[in-house]
Amino acid sequence: MARPVVWTVDDDPEVLRAVAHDLRRQYGERFRVMRADSGPAALDALKQLKLRNETVALFLVDQRMPRMTGVEFLEEARTLYPEAKRVLLTAYADTDAAIQAINSVRIDYYLIKPWDPPEARLFPVLDDLLDDWVASHRPPFEGIRVVGLRWSPSSHAIKDFLGRNQVPYQWLDLEVDAEARQLVQQLEPETPQLPLVLFPDGSRLEEPTPLQLAEKIGMQTRAQKPFYDLIVVGAGPAGLAAAVYGASEGLRTVLIEREAPGGQAGTSSRIENYLGFPAGLSGADLTRRAVDQARRFDVEILSPQELHKIRVEDPYRIVTLADGTDLSCHALLLATGVSYRKLDVPGCDRLTEAGVYYGAAMTEAKACKDEDVYIVGGANSAGQAAMYFAKYARRVIILVRSDSLKKSMSQYLIDQIEQRPNIEVRTRSRVVEVDGETHLECLTILNDHTGEKTTVPASSLFVFIGGAPRTECLDGLVERDERGFILAGRDLIRDGKRPRGWDLDRDPYLLETSVPGIFVAGDVRHGSVKRIASGVGEGSIAVQFIHQYLGNV
Ligand SMILES: Cc1cc2nc3c(=O)[nH]c(=O)nc-3n(C[C@H](O)[C@H](O)[C@H](O)COP(=O)(O)OP(=O)(O)OC[C@H]3O[C@@H](n4cnc5c(N)ncnc54)[C@H](O)[C@@H]3O)c2cc1C
């Protein structure tokens, strides 16, 4: 963290040098002393400091300057740094102006020039003011700041990307945060495109894509090699486990992830049934541990990066990524999981990420403080989200189509929900319409039992209605079931026959698809158990078969 700044401004070069010298001698270790020879020059530099989120502890400013008086400067500087102490240096003749400034710009002190000896006439005053400042000062947030609007889908996308990739950031809402407005004003006359992302080095990105942001913060988005023994697509539990096992057993492994490592599990607020963590752990925690473990074994993790196409040129499996790059390998594992199914009701598409969210969108939790939050779905993911949002929201209402949660949710979660007074479960209820101008303002709920429709005001709706695989890019390559889940192993043998095009003298291995050397693990596999432990298990087992396959390539 940069040291807080003590600013001195004086148009007389001799005086300026002397003041700066005295200040550095006395305060140089704790504060950075900066100087300027005019008010406008100092204001320009101050704006840059503000963009870098640096702090100013004190201004020591000459009153009589030709372009801008000391009082005029302090008036402007105060809007940027209201907490900084303000001291005016005056000639004896200007004492009146200084006294008036005590009221108009709330100066903390005025000193009459010359201040020699500083030990007697300068430092005691400044010591006091700086001690005071240090005592009441809260250090600013040191990382990335995101300025945007609560209901903007692009602001949500940036927050979600940073949050899911575990990059700390501070969110500043332009509509409610004075600091956000000030930061945007400083960029005038340009009007920045929102969301605006400010970095600690003073640089910024306006309305960046996740890829631009990832590159700026140093995430790896491009592969280092053109060829790998094993390419794993999807960094959920299945893909991460496969990458850890593969790399730890000597396979050159790259892991390609479209959004953020962790997959669905990474969005869980509390996982309580994963073996070895009796007190439970968050999805973010599990992801961080798994990613560290993979990196320790030299797995390259490319994120955000997306699989677009696969082609087979024996003995290679070639993957084309979204940026057009080709990577080749001998063995490929598909662990692309499932994505949330969309809620197909009027208004939903238009308001997605502007009040209607798929998944837990934990980044929105604080914004829901003291509001009502609606959750659609009756599975564990919905239950975990309800528990999480209940910490912030006034009330959480779970809407579930069946007549009880028992059919779809684990008992441990049902018990927790029952004990939470601000969670209400409405059974046999479903959302039939959502509405709002620029963001969600109300939703209509149909009670299937009574047939009654009610429209309620609402600003947040989180949807958890199961997942569907997104495997269209595999069309014509590997066999899938009618819902898009990938078939593997014994599921490919029909009437004792191997899949079409299969030309090996053996059956597909347990987790091998209809193309030799292309494997599948986790939720995207037809018939898989949709659990973290099952994904981890399948990812690990797949590596065993990958070794057998590689032994014969
Ligand atoms: C909110 C929530 C809470 C849950 N809680 C629990 C729990 O407590 N206990 C439990 O056992 N299970 C839980 N589950 C279920 C569990 O998380 C999943 O079963 C598990 O994550 C599946 O792992 P996976 O690796 O197969 O797929 P996923 O976790 O879905 O990961 C797949 C990854 O592949 C990426 N991907 C997809 N397509 C591409 C592409 N074309 N290119 C590159 N990358 C791609 C995705 O972005 C994703 O990161 C929960 C699920 C949710 C949503």
**For 9-26, what is each residue's pLDDT tens digit?**
999 999 999 999 999 999
Q: Which residues have a Cβ under 8 Å from the Cβ of 319 and sit 6 or more positions away?
A: 231, 233, 256, 307, 309, 310, 326, 327, 328, 329, 332
Centre of ligand 1 from the C-alpha of residue 237, in Å? 7
Quick check: 39 and 64 in contact, CB under 8 A?
no
Q: Please tell me the predicted confidence (pLDDT) of residue 387.
A: 95
Place of tokens 């070895």: 276
Query: Could you count the other beta carbons within 10 Å of the beta carbon of residue 522?
Result: 35
SS3 302: strand
Q: Which residues have a Cβ under 8 Å from the Cβ of 114 and sit 6 or more positions away?
A: none
CA distances from 192 to 146, 183, 184, 186, 204 (A): 12, 10, 7, 10, 10
The span from the CA of 25 to the CA of 22, in Å, is 5
Q: Which of 468, 539, 542 lies closest to 237, judged by CA?
A: 539
Closest-lying ligand 1 atom to the alpha carbon of residue 340: 53
Could you tell which of 264, 398, 416 is best to mutate to test the pocket of ligand 1, judged by most ligand atoms within 8 Å of the CB?
264
Round the average pLDDT of the chain to a whole number and report it. Answer: 94
Q: Are strands 395-399 and 518-520 parallel, antiparallel or unpaired?
A: unpaired
The span from the CA of 158 to the CA of 166, in Å, is 12
Across 114-128, b (16+ Cβ under 10 Å) vs e yields ebeebeeebbebbee
Query: Could you count the other beta carbons within 10 Å of the beta carbon of residue 343?
Result: 20
Encoded tokens for 255: 């892991």
Could you tell which of 414, 532, 536, 538 is best to mutate to test the pocket of ligand 1, judged by most ligand atoms within 8 Å of the CB?
532
Which residue positions in the chain have pLDDT lower than 50? none
Q: Is the peptide bond before 117 cis (omega within 30 degrees of 0)?
A: yes
Closest-lying ligand 1 atom to the alpha carbon of residue 259: 47
CA distances from 211 to 198, 258, 319 (A): 16, 10, 19
Q: Which residues have a Cβ under 8 Å from the Cβ of 452 and sit 6 or more positions away?
A: 446
Query: Does the CB atom of residue 303 touch ligand 1 within 6 A?
Result: no
Q: Give the angle subtended at the CA of 507 by the CAs of 502 and 510, to the nearest 5°.
A: 115
CA distances from 151 to 144, 156, 292 (A): 20, 8, 34
Q: Please tell me the predicted confidence (pLDDT) of residue 278.
A: 87
Closest-lying ligand 1 atom to the alpha carbon of residue 305: 43
Q: Please tell me the predicted confidence (pLDDT) of residue 216.
A: 94
Using one digit for the tens of pLDDT, what is the confidence trace for 283-319?
999 999 999 999 999 999 999 999 999 999 999 999 9
Closest-lying ligand 1 atom to the alpha carbon of residue 522: 26
The span from the CA of 165 to the CA of 46, in Å, is 32
The span from the CA of 389 to the CA of 364, in Å, is 9
Q: Please tell me the predicted confidence (pLDDT) of residue 464.
A: 94
CA distances from 511 to 287, 455, 505 (A): 24, 48, 17
Question: Where do the DSSP E strands lie in 184-302?
Answer: 196-198, 204-206, 227-233, 253-256, 300-302
The span from the CA of 36 to the CA of 46, in Å, is 10
Place of tokens 């390609």: 256
Q: Please tell me the predicted confidence (pLDDT) of residue 364.
A: 85
